[in-house]
Amino acid sequence: MINLLPPEEKQKLFLEKKRKLAVILGIIALVFLACLTLVLLSIKFYILAETDYQKNILKQIQQENQITDLENYNNIIQKYNKILDQISSFYKEEIYFNQVLKDISDIPNPKGLRLTNFSLNRGQNRKIKVNVSGASSTRDDLILFKKNIEDDKKIKNPYFSPESWINPKNVNFSLSFEIYKDEEQK
């Protein structure tokens, strides 16, 4: 193709062509930047929405854990309160076992009689249940011991097992009785 245009017109057309190309490239760049901005904004909003969602889940879990922790602490406190109540009731209803042992040891024993086993249990209504076992060389010593126990005013409801009276010599016996707590013992 033959170009018959003067050089000035050629120059004008060339500049016009460059200008149109620059405008087109500018519009493409602006469209690209606008699209990039929209994509980045959508990513930003997505991330913000996800972080809010995760924060809400975290708050909910923390509240559940706080409630669980609170319930655990409440259970622990209730457990220790029960223990403290039991300790308090023990001290309010305290029984001086050493005084009970002294009262038992003050009972006169015949020479042929020996006590081998003691069992002390706190009962209701301020009484102590005592179980004693032992051995006696003769039944007469055991009868004397029974009389001494029955004469003691602190001892209530003495009971010897029937097997205690079978043998006349080398008697193994079992005895149970109750001692009521006096206010004087404090």
Q: What is the pLDDT of residues 26-77, one digit of tens each?
A: 999 999 999 999 999 999 999 999 999 999 999 988 888 777 778 888 889 9
Secondary structure string (H, E, C) spanning the chain: CCCCCCHHHHHHHHHHHHHHHHHHHHHHHHHHHHHHHHHHHHHHHHHHHHHHHHHHHHHHHHHHHHHHHHHHHHHHHHHHHHHHHHHHHHHHCCCCHHHHHHHHHCCCCCCCEEEEEEEEEECCCCEEEEEEEEEEEEHHHHHHHHHHHHHCCCEEEEEECHHHHCCCEEEEEEEEEEEECCHHHC
Locate the domains of the chain by residue range: 9-92, 97-185
Q: How high is the pLDDT of residue 95?
A: 64
| pLDDT tens readout for residues 115-170 | 888 888 877 766 788 888 888 888 888 888 889 888 888 888 888 888 888 888 88
Class of the CATH-defined domain 97-185 = alpha beta
Give the pLDDT score at 186.
38
**Is it the case that residue 185 has pLDDT exceeding 50?**
no
pLDDT at residue number 42:
96
